Structure 1
Amino acid sequence: MDEGFVLIGAGLPRTGTMSTRAALQNLLKGKIHHMATVMSERLDKHDFWKKAVAKQVSTNDWQETLSEYRGGVDYPISFFYKEIMEAFPNAKVLLNVRDPIKWYESVKNSIFRLHMTARCWPCTWFTALIGQAESIELVAQLSELIPSYSSEEMSMFSAVAAGQSQAVQFWTEHVNQVKSTVPADRLLVWDVREGWEPLCQFMDLPIPDEPFPRVNDTASIEGARKRILYSSWFFVVFLPAFMLLAAWSFEFYSPAPFLLMVVGYCLIISGLRSIMLTSVLKNHTKSD
């Protein structure tokens, strides 16, 4: 097995990429890039991905940024799979597939729903307060990139927003483009339900003596969406409104009590930011 970056995941998000990531971390004995890496593990690489969105990265930039990984799956890797193939000419390509209608339903009810919630008020204010707005905006930009093969000039999210027909068309065009671009001896078209055997044969590695990982993160995504939504309404709307009502009800005649409440509010927000930073650092450590 070659060293370095050896596997490019060309499958779209919501095709079992979290399970695939866990499996590849086992097989390849190293880190596997995923959208979760962008969102919560490697915030220090945001500038690179902003340049990638603007088409301002070179082959050397791809090699430098991905050299610490053994492979990558999900967006943004699968969006830029052709550029990464040029940067790593010996890497193999894995195309995760599933039923396209089920794919559409999965995207619509998980990451797209989270995306729509996070970009609406008061969530936009709350994520800015806790220092997460940049990560959310970057993930949105990556998910809204329009691939050259899209006959309707749609991004993944805009296709899903348009409905099942357009989403399935987007899916089909993506899969067909990968199949027509990647040489057959370098490509594995694979459904995560097939498990270890096809994947291990493709990578020329022994089958691990353990069950194939099954990571279903739909519930955790919905949980994250609800936490953002409920926290946003509480910290942006209800808590400030309560503070104003208290100031009016108790007829504060000096600014001191109100200032104390404002300081308390700022301390709470600062604590939330610290918790988020600690979580990012913990995720970064886990990814190393």
Structure 2
Amino acid sequence: MVQVIGAGFGRTGTASLKRALELLGFGPCHHMSEVLKQPQTTVGWTAALNGDRTALPPLLEGYKATVDFPGCLLWREMTELYPDAKVVLSVRDPKKWYDSARATILSTEPREMPQDIATLLRPFSEAMAARGFRRDLSEADTIEVFNRHNESVQAGVDPRKLLVYEVSQGWAPLCEFLDAEVPDTPFPRGNDSASFRENVNRLLKDGIDDFV
């Protein structure tokens, strides 16, 4: 049963947040890396993004938390499906977010991948684009999408169940929000732009066990 819904876009520290949630006992946590490791799930995610809410429970079976894409585009459906879950909206300075996203998840550079995976990812990418995650927008329009998404989450979630959070804040606000003890370990860090590109390419081409 999903207990924590991550509503923030990718490149807002979601890889670090995934590890943090799992260290706090909210694991496994779904992240876009899970989709890339299991590309067959794009069929279900595409259906969910296109409006089939019945596709979500099987996709999230066994997960205690979600962060990143594609789940963040379905935050509203998830809050209805899991009404007791808490929502963490990971945020970042919009300009810094755009620069990081353009170098990674919004990059238009072609990636090497098997043809069967490319075939699965195409309708999935189109469904995410229809939800606003597009690579063909200008910087100003992309930042507007980012800001509008964050505003929608803040307007649509009960403030008592919402944490607007920057990973630079570390453990304290996250643990307080989730009623969890602060671990005796540094807050997870990683997945800079260079590492992201390398890991995605490795994952798509060869498969890897961990996404950092």
Does structure 2 conserve the Cα–Cα contact (< 8 Å) formed by 1:63 and 1:88? no
Instruction: Identify the residue that residue 202 of structure 1 maps to in structure 2.
Output: 177
Does structure 2 conserve the Cα–Cα contact (< 8 Å) formed by 1:38 and 1:135? no
- Whole-angstrom CA distance in 1 between matches of 2:65 and 2:201: 32
Say if 1:224 and 1:187 are closer, same or farther in 2 by CA, change over 3 A: closer
Say if 1:143 and 1:210 are closer, same or farther in 2 by CA, change over 3 A: same
Of 24, 35, 40, 2:32 maps to 35
- TM alignment of 1:79-90, pairs within 5 A: 79-90=73-84
Say if 1:199 and 1:227 are closer, same or farther in 2 by CA, change over 3 A: closer
Instruction: Identify the residue that residue 46 of structure 1 maps to in structure 2.
Output: 42
Does structure 2 conserve the Cα–Cα contact (< 8 Å) formed by 1:53 and 1:141? no
Code of the residue aligned with 1:85 in structure 2: it is T
Deviation at 1:172, TM superposition (A): 1.3
Q: Does 1:137 align with 2:122?
A: yes
Deviation at 1:18, TM superposition (A): 0.3
Say if 1:222 and 1:24 are closer, same or farther in 2 by CA, change over 3 A: same
- TM alignment of 1:58-97, pairs within 5 A: 58=54, 61-97=55-91
Q: Does 1:182 align with 2:153?
A: no
Q: Does 1:7 align with 2:1?
A: no
Instruction: Identify the residue that residue 23 of structure 2 maps to in structure 1.
Output: 26
For the pair shown, the structure with the greater C-alpha radius of gyration is 1
Does structure 1 conserve the Cα–Cα contact (< 8 Å) formed by 2:31 and 2:66? yes
- Whole-angstrom CA distance in 2 between matches of 1:43 and 1:226: 14
Deviation at 1:225, TM superposition (A): 7.3
Instruction: Identify the residue that residue 150 of structure 1 maps to in structure 2.
Output: none
**Where do 5+ consecutive residues of structure 1 fail to align?**
147-154, 229-272
Instruction: Identify the residue that residue 133 of structure 2 maps to in structure 1.
Output: 156
- Whole-angstrom CA distance in 2 between matches of 1:227 and 1:63: 29
Deviation at 1:23, TM superposition (A): 0.5
Does structure 1 conserve the Cα–Cα contact (< 8 Å) formed by 2:22 and 2:29? yes
Query: 1:116-158, CA deviations, whole angstroms, 9 ceiling, x for partnerless residues?
Result: 423xxxx5xx631xx4313432552354133xxxxxxxx2224
Q: Does 1:56 align with 2:52?
A: yes
- Whole-angstrom CA distance in 2 between matches of 1:34 and 1:171: 18
Deviation at 1:57, TM superposition (A): 2.9
Deviation at 1:29, TM superposition (A): 4.7
Say if 1:145 and 1:202 are closer, same or farther in 2 by CA, change over 3 A: same
Does structure 1 conserve the Cα–Cα contact (< 8 Å) formed by 2:43 and 2:124? no
- Whole-angstrom CA distance in 2 between matches of 1:139 and 1:193: 31
Does structure 2 conserve the Cα–Cα contact (< 8 Å) formed by 1:8 and 1:94? yes
Give 3-state SS (helix, strand or coil) of 1:74's partner.
Answer: coil
Does structure 1 conserve the Cα–Cα contact (< 8 Å) formed by 2:94 and 2:143? yes
Of 222, 238, 252, 2:197 maps to 222
Give 3-state SS (helix, strand or coil) of 2:56's partner.
Answer: helix
Of 110, 115, 122, 1:117 maps to 110
Structure 1 residue runs of 4 or more that deviate by more than 6 Å after TM superposition: 225-228
Q: Structure 1 length as normaliser, TM-score?
A: 0.66
Query: 1:216-257, CA deviations, whole angstroms, 9 ceiling, x for partnerless residues?
Result: 2421333367779xxxxxxxxxxxxxxxxxxxxxxxxxxxxx
Does structure 2 conserve the Cα–Cα contact (< 8 Å) formed by 1:104 and 1:168? yes
RMSD over aligned Cα atoms: 2.5
Over the matched positions of the two proteins, sequence identity in percent amounts to 31
